[in-house]
A and B are shown apart, each in its own frame.
Chain A
Amino acid sequence: MAHALSGPRKRSSGPRSKLDLMPYLFILPAVVIYVVFNLGPVLASFFLSFFRWDLLAPTTEFIGFKHYDFILNDDKFWNALSHNFIFLLLAVIIPVSMGLFLAVFIYEIRRGRVFFRAALFLPAIFSGVVIAYVWKWIYHPFAGVLNPTLELIGLGAFTQSWLGNPKIALYSTFIAYTWASFGYSMVIFLAGLQDISTDIFDAARVDGANFWQKLFWITIPCLYDVFTFVITLRIFTAMGVFGVIYILTGGGPFYSSDVIDIYVFRMIGNFEMGWATAAATVNTIVVVCISTGFIKWREWRSWSS
């Protein structure tokens, strides 16, 4: 037995240099694609933010940190960034908890599991543009279904201009975002739930634990790494939200639902490439700081416990 195990080891240690190169060769295409299509544009964007360039002119003018100075002193930038933070806060609470509860519900039921899983995941596979247009008509003040439904169920006091009221326009877009995104969280949680040993739940049942006790003392702690992944995903999508808001409100009324990506898009539309890339760079730094900080905090908590 020992001989059988040692044989291949000896053979593999012979042409070591060749074997060591193989993994790199395999990942080379992915690295090239990543550098060309991801890292390259990010670095180019960062580089561009120090120049005045209108996308067309063959010459650029180096202006140092002037764009950053403008961006950081622009109320509209901070207004947009604050909306991203509101979106982020809501996105890590609502779609994540909805996803968790629905995953637990589907996990618990015996019949119709496949149907509910498919039905609840369905919105997540639609294009964001389609979802935005569907919600645009749901919110329509004259032909939409939301206001009449509220009146029908006795909640007529809550009917209003969902996209036209600057106080709630951002939250109306968030509802559409949630509808499109909770399905992802749900399937990831569901996959995580299936990895938890049923013995633990059986033992809890024998000990008389109720649903909430099982949820808080078994399910959520066992899904620690899944939570980290799902929340990190939400950080990225919330800080980069664009399509739903662009179609529903265009960032209005009067910038009340403006977010950074729409701010950047407006700059690009105006051929202000330097301003746009400076704003995008600041947003990237914010996203990297939040997501890295969050992941490090989770690692520290995991290690300390």
Chain B
Amino acid sequence: MNKNQYTTLLQKLLIVGLGALLLGALSLGAVVAQEATDVLVWSLGYGGDYADVLVERFNEAHDDVNIVYEDVLTGTFTENNQKVRIALENEAGPDVLGGVDVGANLQALVSTGQVRDLTEYYRASGLIDRIPPNLLSQVTVEGRIYAIPQNMESVGIFYNKDVFAELELAVPSTWEEYIDVLEAVKDAGYYGYTMGLAGGWPSALMASMFMYSSAGSEYIDVLSGTQPWPDCDNCLDGLNAFYGMVANGYANPEPLGIDYNQSLDLFYQGITVMVLNGPWFIDDAMAAEPDFEIGFFYLPAVNPNTDIKTLGGIGGSIIVAEYADVDAAFKLVDWLTTEEVAVQALREVSVLPAFSIEVPDDIAPLSYQIASETAANVDKIGFWPVTYLPPKVFGDMNQIVQGMIGGMLTPEELLSEMQATHSTYLAEN
């Protein structure tokens, strides 16, 4: 073998070697790509197109975990609940699910045996120190933590700032001042309180707001079934205050003739001046583009001694399925609970996280105000009635409150009717 032959052989070997290296690298890349674990997600707890934004951001930032997002929770609240419960039971559901309602709903999901116990994860990740105890209690079932509160909501009064300025009204801080504002608004030809209860929703929520505002945590005892409804005199004061919105002509006419969405139109058109609502209302209001500025304040307490500031609670929480790949699922949970993602969500879709963050002051003023006040009052929030009441009793409460607003029941009779409904249900179960 001469020198040229050697050179040619070496060249060939070099080419073969490089080719093999290239093939190896490509194969390794393919193997690495194949190792990205899929995490099936049905909801990340954010509505609309924002879920797609989050999925894209997560998948771009992670090579080893890939979210497979299926937008299947498109039905009503009940239908979605049924889908999730049946899918979990059959181990055919999502690996990670956001936006889960706590309380009775979470307990039902846990009873499937397919919701992962996150107690150890809380300790290991330090999340236990970032979530207020009262919220943590809402995701604890029999001493174990099964969900991560994702966002926090509280209810307050959104008001038409232009009308307040026109009538030279200040934001009320006491119940008496609030009544003075309602009177002034009424005298000026507006309606102070927006009410649309056709179909039921949100009758029970509104009534609960006033009962919390008067009875405070005593109302929690009533909802939990440890105190009879008719024995709660403070609840009665709250109901009288609520009924006063209609009886005194503060609320728009025909509250039972229009539904919730139709009542919001009255606010956007400037017919009503104040509306009791939650932070989800901000997006609705922005979309409606009213030609006035909107402000926010908490409903002043009917009873100044109440220990509850307002109605609210966990907007949704994250659960991990027992059958999910733990490492991959926790990577997604880690990411969703980072301050960066939470602040982005607050800035982009006005969702306040349930875990403590520094509320940035460069967000929209209304979002900032609600987020700051909710964060500041997180230990004084009375949770949604459905957190304590069985769904059936809550559903009946919507109709029973309609009975009071329609003049078919007095506030006292409402409490008796609720007691009958609640105790019948508890006896049957």
Contact = CB atoms under 8 A, between A and B. Distances in A.
Given A55-B85, A70-B428, A140-B262, A252 B399 contact: yes
Interface string B233-261: 00000000000000000000111111100
B399 A254 contact: yes
Residue picked from B89, B256, B392, most chain A C-beta under 10 Å: B256
Given A161-B254, A163-B256, A254-B403, A269 B78 contact: yes
A143 B392 CA distance: 33
A162 B112 CA distance: 45
Interface in A245-281: 249-255, 266-272
A270 B390 CA distance: 8
Interface string A71-114: 00000000000000000000000000000000000000000000
Contacts of B428: 70
B200 A270 contact: no
A254 B78 contact: no
Interface string A122-166: 000000000000001001111100000000000000000111111
Contacts of B85: 55-56
A164 B405 CA distance: 10
Interface string A269-297: 11110000000000000000000000000
A58 interface: yes
B136 interface: no
A54 interface: yes
B36 interface: no
A166 B409 CA distance: 12
A57 interface: yes
B406 A266 contact: no
Given A56-B89, A166-B406, A270-B390, A252 B262 contact: no
B409 A164 contact: no
Contacts of B167: none
Given A164-B256, A164-B257, 18 more contacts: A55-B85, A58-B89, A139-B257, A142-B271, A161-B254, A164-B254, A166-B408, A249-B199, A251-B399, A253-B406, A253-B408, A266-B392, A269-B78, A269-B391, A269-B395, A270-B390, A270-B391, A270-B392
11 contacts: A54-B108, A136-B259, A161-B257, A163-B257, A164-B255, A250-B199, A252-B200, A252-B256, A253-B408, A254-B403, A271-B82
Interface of A: 54-58, 70, 136, 139-143, 161-166, 249-255, 266-272
Pairs of residues from A and B, 10 with the lowest C-beta to C-beta distance, nearest first: A164-B257, A164-B256, A254-B403, A161-B257, A250-B199, A270-B392, A141-B254, A253-B402, A269-B78, A141-B257
Interface of B: 78, 82, 85-86, 89, 108, 111-112, 197-200, 253-259, 262, 265-266, 271, 390-392, 395, 398-400, 402-403, 405-406, 408-409, 428
